[in-house]
């Protein structure tokens, strides 16, 4: 949700800002803008454009803007429509203070009213615009103290202003009178500082600065920093200077190439055999004594013994992975498990129970609702004196350096590599695998499954990478063909049952988010309780029918849809029963436990090809952003 990049140093700021914005565009693409200070004239030049970053590039038309200190922003609209006037940076009335912000200033209206009473005119509908005006007012009050050290003055002014802000923010501020200083601050929105050669930078996410440095300092909540070409100072909310060791990033993981694929999403679908291979190599180890493989989670799991119940908190696609996880944890490992939307959990959590494991699932590690729900859970559990109520936490994330990575120490790093397509594919895959790992570990510790049953599941996991390669190749073609026939449909129903019900939900979510076609996922057996009324020949039904416990039931439910004239697409093997499908996306015969890990592939490809066939911006669908850092 909005991307921020900022730099100060001895080099021209513009190339880094534009490169950073390109890498951050996945966070929001309603509009973009930059502001750079010319240290000789002490003027701020600001350029903004509505729509994609390309529009800003066209506006700049390869012109250089001199200056070594600047800020940039790519926006996902919250307050105010995606228009130039609402694009960041926002500048105060004197033109001296420029601000980019990611987050939501909840008390902006109250602050705006006060400023307007003082005669300050606003140029935008955003919540952010109050910040430059407040900073300018504060600078006036401070009387531009100590003009030989304006950076410190700006730091004090910004600190005083953020004390009055409610909500969440990550922000970067320029002041014309301090042309070599940049002040940055964060509260519940991501911000990292990068230590480059002859320049210091700051951004919402690591890829934005990966071409310039691999050394970062993540900022903590409530911290404020002053960056100058000579160094970085970070202070906490008590104004105590903070010192911490920088982290070194794996640069190759941060620099992402689309290769020959038309879209990142397609590349990321094709990445999945590798994703699976990497996950298996990381989390399965061979026991040297008996030659058997076992799950090797990266933290001490002996506390699993006392766990009686699991609660999983997640949003969107991560929640669908959690639902498959819940099925495995209950049905394979025998632990009662509930999955919650983070946005619901934060305001209506279940009553506290003892010996609960709370799992936060978020690929970005920055989803505001998930982070807040986990914080709330930690706080309310910490208030109970009884030891059995203490928080037991695991995070499943793709970004260990993110907010959730700093919140929770027991992390399963899904290791999918950075995902650029806004629609999650390979990270979903690696989240699913992580739940298989957890379920196996619990089953081992609790003794709910025999060694043979566990080995059988592990062997099935090992077969995945080559199987996936074949499936992707085959269904890339069948999905393209189907997309040709179906790209104009208006509604689609996805059906699944048991372990594949969440896969139906995920299939529907993928289709709607990138193709803008209305789609709904349903447990196949529930159709007859209402949604069947929607069906007719214009509404195709995609039915996931994997041999196992509920296969016959799913086939009967598909039959009910066929009787209402729906065109039936099956995600199923060619076997007795599946001849009812009008079109079969043929799946290999597989073990039912593993089936979600196969069934998701044709569904991802079908959504992709339908959206691509409609000529849509698959990687950056309208109204969405990769990292949802606002509530």
- Minimum CB distance to ligand F6R smaller for 180 or for 367: 367
SS3 (DSSP) at 421: coil
Is 62 labeled as catalytic in the residue annotation? no
> What tokens does 360 get?
């936060």
> Rounded CA gap, 253 and 418, in Å?
7
Shortest Å distance, C-beta 364 to ligand F6R? 3
| Separation of alpha carbons 604 and 422, rounded Å | 13
Shortest distance in whole angstroms from residue 46 CB to ligand F6R: 31
With H, G, I as helix, E, B as strand and everything else as coil, classify residue 108. Answer: helix
Q: Does 629 bind ligand F6R (CB under 6 A)?
A: no
What x/- string results for residues 506 through 535 when contact with ligand F6R is judged by CB under 6 A? Answer: ---x---x----------------------
Give 502-519 as a 3 state SS string. Answer: HHHHHHHHHHHHHHCCEE
SS3 472: helix
Looking only at the bridges linking them, the beta strands covering 43-50 and 223-228 are: unpaired
Q: Check residue 362 for interaction with ligand F6R (CB under 6 A).
A: yes
Catalytic one among 23, 449, 510, 626? 626
Task: Please tell me the distance from the alpha carbon of residue 588 to that of residue 599, in angstroms, as a whole number.
Answer: 10
The reply to whether 2 belongs to the active site is: yes
Residues 294-333 close enough to bind ligand F6R by CB under 6 A: 315-318
Q: Which is nearer to ligand F6R, 558 or 628 (CB)?
A: 628
Could you say which residues in the range 470-509 bind ligand F6R, by CB under 6 A?
509
Q: With CB under 6 A as the contact rule, which of the stretches 93-101, 357-365, 442-450, 483-491 interacts with ligand F6R?
A: 357-365
Closest-CA residue to 524 (of 549, 558, 548, 573):
558
Contact 320, 428 (CB under 8 A): yes
**Residue whose tokens read 């014309």:** 176
Q: Which is nearer to ligand F6R, 86 or 362 (CB)?
A: 362
Do residues 441 and 572 touch, judged by C-beta distance below 8 A? no
Torsions phi, psi of 131, nearest 5?
-65, -50
Among residues 212, 229, 256, 204, the alpha carbon closest in space to that of 72 is found at: 204
Residue 363 is a binding residue for ligand F6R (CB under 6 A): yes
Nearer of residues 70 and 405 to ligand F6R, judged by Cβ: 405
Q: Among 472, 568, 628, 630, which residue sits at the site for ligand F6R (rule: CB under 6 A)?
A: 628
Which of the residues 2, 46, 202, 315 is marked catalytic?
Answer: 2
Number of residues that bind ligand F6R (CB under 6 A): 14
**Least distance (Å) between residue 568 CB and ligand F6R:** 25
- Please name the residue ranges forming H helices in 34-185: 53-60, 108-117, 130-142, 150-162
> Closest distance between ligand F6R and the C-beta of residue 39, in Å?
39
Of 145-153, 274-282, 362-370, 470-478, the segment contacting ligand F6R by CB under 6 A is 362-370
Chain residue at closest Cβ approach to ligand F6R: 316
Taking the C-alpha atoms of 394, 400, 404 and 406 in order, what is their torsion angle to the nearest 10 degrees?
100
* CB 404 to ligand F6R: min, Å: 8
x/- string (CB under 6 A) for ligand F6R, residues 415-444?
Answer: --------xx--------------------
367 binds ligand F6R (CB under 6 A): yes
The least distance separating ligand F6R from the CB of residue 8, rounded to whole angstroms, comes to 30
Phi, psi dihedrals of residue 38, rounded to the nearest 5°: -90, 115
Write the burial class of residue 289 (CB in 10 Å: 0-12 exposed, 13-18 middle, 19+ buried). exposed
Q: Which residues are catalytic?
A: 2, 626
What residues make contact with ligand F6R under the rule CB under 6 A? Answer: 315-318, 362-364, 367, 370, 423-424, 509, 513, 628
């Amino acid at each position: 949700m909005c991307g921020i990049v900022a730099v100060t140093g001895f080099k021209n700021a513009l190339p880094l800002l534009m490169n950073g914005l390109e890498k951050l565009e996945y966070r929001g693409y309603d509009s973009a803008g930059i502001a750079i200070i010319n240290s000789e004239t002490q003027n701020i030049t600001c350029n903004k454009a509505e729509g994609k970053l390309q529009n800003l590039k066209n506006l700049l038309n390869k012109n250089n803007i001199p200056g070594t200190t600047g800020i940039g922003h790519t926006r996902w609209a919250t307050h105010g429509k995606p228009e130039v006037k609402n694009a960041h940076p926002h500048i105060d009335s004197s033109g001296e203070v420029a601000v980019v912000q990611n987050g939501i200033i909840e008390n902006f209206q109250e602050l705006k009213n006060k400023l307007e009473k003082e005669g300050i005119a606003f140029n935008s509908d955003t919540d952010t615009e109050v910040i430059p005006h407040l900073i300018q007012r504060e600078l006036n009050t401070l009387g531009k103290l100590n003009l030989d050290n304006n950076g410190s003055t700006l730091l004090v002014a910004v600190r005083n202003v953020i004390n009055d802000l409610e909500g969440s923010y990550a922000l970067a501020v320029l002041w014309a009178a301090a042309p070599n200083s940049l002040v940055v601050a964060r509260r519940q929105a991501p911000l990292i500082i990068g230590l480059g050669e002859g320049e210091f930078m700051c951004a919402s996410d690591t890829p934005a600065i990966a071409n310039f440095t691999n050394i970062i300092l993540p900022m903590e909540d409530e911290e404020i920093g002053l960056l100058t070409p000579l160094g970085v100072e970070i202070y906490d909310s008590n104004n105590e200077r903070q010192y911490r060791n920088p982290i070194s990033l794996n640069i190759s993981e941060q620099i992402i190439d689309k290769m020959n694929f038309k879209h990142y999403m397609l590349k990321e679908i094709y990445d999945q055999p590798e994703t699976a291979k990497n996950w298996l190599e990381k989390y399965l180890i061979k026991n040297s004594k008996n030659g058997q493989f076992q799950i090797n989670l990266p933290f001490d799991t002996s506390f699993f013994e006392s766990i009686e119940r699991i609660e999983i908190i997640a949003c969107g696609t991560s929640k669908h992975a959690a639902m498959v996880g819940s099925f495995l944890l209950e049905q394979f490992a025998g632990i009662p498990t509930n999955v919650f939307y983070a946005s619901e959990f934060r305001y209506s959590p279940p009553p506290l129970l003892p010996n609960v494991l709370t799992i936060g699932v978020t690929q970005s590690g920055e989803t505001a609702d998930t982070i807040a729900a986990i914080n709330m859970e930690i706080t309310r559990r910490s208030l109970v004196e009884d030891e059995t109520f203490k928080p037991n936490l695991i995070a499943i994330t793709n970004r260990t350096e993110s907010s959730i990575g700093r919140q929770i120490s027991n992390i399963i790093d899904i290791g999918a590599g950075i995902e650029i397509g806004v629609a999650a594919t390979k990270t979903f895959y690696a989240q699913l695998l992580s739940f298989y790992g957890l379920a196996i570990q619990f089953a081992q510790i609790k003794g709910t499954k025999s060694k043979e049953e566990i080995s059988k599941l592990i062997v099935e996991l090992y077969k995945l990478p080559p199987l996936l390669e074949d499936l992707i190749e085959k269904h890339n073609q069948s999905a393209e063909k189907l997309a040709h026939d179906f790209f104009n449909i208006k509604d689609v129903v996805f059906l699944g049952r048991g372990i594949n019900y969440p896969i139906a939900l995920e299939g529907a979510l993928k289709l709607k988010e990138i193709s803008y076609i209305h789609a709904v996922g349903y447990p196949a057996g529930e159709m007859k309780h209402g949604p069947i009324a929607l069906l007719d020949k214009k509404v195709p039904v995609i039915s996931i029918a994997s041999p196992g416990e509920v296969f016959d039931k799913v086939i009967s439910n598909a039959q009910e849809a066929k009787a209402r004239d729906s065109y039936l697409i099956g995600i199923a093997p060619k076997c007795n029963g599946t001849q009812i499908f009008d079109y079969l996306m043929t799946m290999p015969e597989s073990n039912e436990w593993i089936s979600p890990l196969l069934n998701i592939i044709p569904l991802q490809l079908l959504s992709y090809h339908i959206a691509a066939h409609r000529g849509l911006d698959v990687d950056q669908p309208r109204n969405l952003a990769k990292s949802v850092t606002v509530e």
